[in-house]
C-alpha cells in the first residue's frame, strides 16, 4: 500500500519520529550521535527555516516536534535524514543506511495534542529506563533548558517550560495512565493526531481536552 503524500502546511507543528533499520542501536557513542544530529538540525533550521520546538534522541530513534513556516516539511526531512544518515554511516563504518525507509509525521492541530506529544517524547527515556527523571536525560532539548545549557541549534521559545519550569517538570515526570499513553502513541502515527477509540463505548481513550 503506497504511503499517503505528506501534508504541507505552515500553521501547526509536526511530531516526527524515525527509527534505525531493524531497530538496531546507533553503532557509535551517543555523545557523537548527539553532535551529528545537533549539527544537522542546525543546518536544516538555517537552510530550510525549520522551527524546532523539542528534540529527544534515543539509542535507536528520535522524536522531533517542529514547525515549517515555509510549508516545506518534505524538503526539511529529506535533507535532515539524508545528511544525518550519511554521517552516521561514515562514522560507524557501516555499509547500510542508518534509518528505516519510513518516518512518521503527525500534525498537531490542537494545543492539547502538542502538549501530549511534548510529554510523550520527553518521557520516552524514563519509560525506556534510560533516566529516572526527564530533565536528567542528556540527549534532549529539555536537559539543556532545565540545566541552562546552550544548544548547537536554535530552539523555539518554550512557553510551556518557561511559564512554570517546576510545574512543567512535575507534570512531565508524573507517570501517565497506560491506556491514555497507548492512545497518544496511536495518535502520533496518524497524519493528523487522532486518539485510539475504546472498542466497547466507541469513545476516544483520550479526549481533545485531556493531558497525559
Q: For 14-187, which CATH class? A: alpha beta
Measured CA to CA, the distance from residue 74 to residue 98 in angstroms comes to 19
Q: Which helix (H) or strand (E) holds 37?
A: helix 30-48
Are the C-beta atoms of residues 97 and 149 closer than 8 Å to each other?
Answer: no
Q: Which residues of 52-71 are buried (b: 16+ CB within 10 A; e: fewer)?
A: bbbbbbbebbbbbbbbbeee
Pairing of strands 99-107, 61-67: unpaired
Please give the chain's pLDDT, 212 residues, in tens.
446 678 999 999 999 998 876 456 577 899 999 999 999 999 999 999 999 999 999 998 999 999 999 999 999 999 999 999 889 888 865 545 555 556 789 999 999 999 999 999 999 999 999 999 999 999 999 999 999 999 999 999 999 999 999 999 999 999 999 999 999 999 999 999 999 888 888 989 998 889 99
Residue that has been written with the C-alpha cell 531497530 in this structure: 23
- What's CA 111's distance to the chain center, in Å? 16
Amino acid at each position: 500500500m503506497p504511503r499517503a503524500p505528506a501534508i504541507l502546511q505552515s500553521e501547526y507543528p509536526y511530531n516526527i519520529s524515525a527509527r534505525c533499520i531493524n531497530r538496531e542501536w546507533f553503532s557509535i557513542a551517543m555523545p557523537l550521535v548527539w553532535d551529528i544530529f545537533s549539527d544537522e538540525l542546525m543546518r536544516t533550521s538555517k537552510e530550510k527555516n525549520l522551527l524546532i520546538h523539542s528534540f529527544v534522541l534515543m539509542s535507536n530513534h528520535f522524536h522531533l516536534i517542529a514547525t515549517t513556516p515555509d510549508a516545506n516539511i518534505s524538503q526539511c526531512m529529506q535533507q535532515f535524514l539524508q545528511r544525518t544518515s550519511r554521517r552516521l554511516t561514515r562514522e560507524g563504518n557501516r555499509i547500510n543506511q542508518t534509518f528505516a525507509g519510513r518516518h512518521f509525521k503527525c500534525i498537531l492541530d490542537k494545543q492539547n495534542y502538542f502538549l501530549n506529544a511534548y510529554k510523550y517524547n520527553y518521557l520516552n527515556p524514563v519509560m525506556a529506563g534510560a533516566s529516572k527523571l526527564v530533565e536528567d536525560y542528556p540527549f534532549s532539548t529539555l536537559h539543556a533548558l532545565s540545566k541552562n545549557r546552550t544548544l548547537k541549534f536554535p530552539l523555539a521559545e518554550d512557553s510551556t517550560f518557561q511559564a512554570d519550569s517546576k510545574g512543567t517538570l512535575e507534570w512531565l515526570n508524573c507517570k501517565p495512565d497506560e491506556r491514555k499513553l497507548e492512545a497518544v502513541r496511536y495518535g502520533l502515527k496518524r497524519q493528523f493526531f487522532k486518539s485510539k477509540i475504546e472498542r466497547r463505548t466507541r469513545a476516544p481513550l483520550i479526549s481533545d481536552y485531556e493531558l497525559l
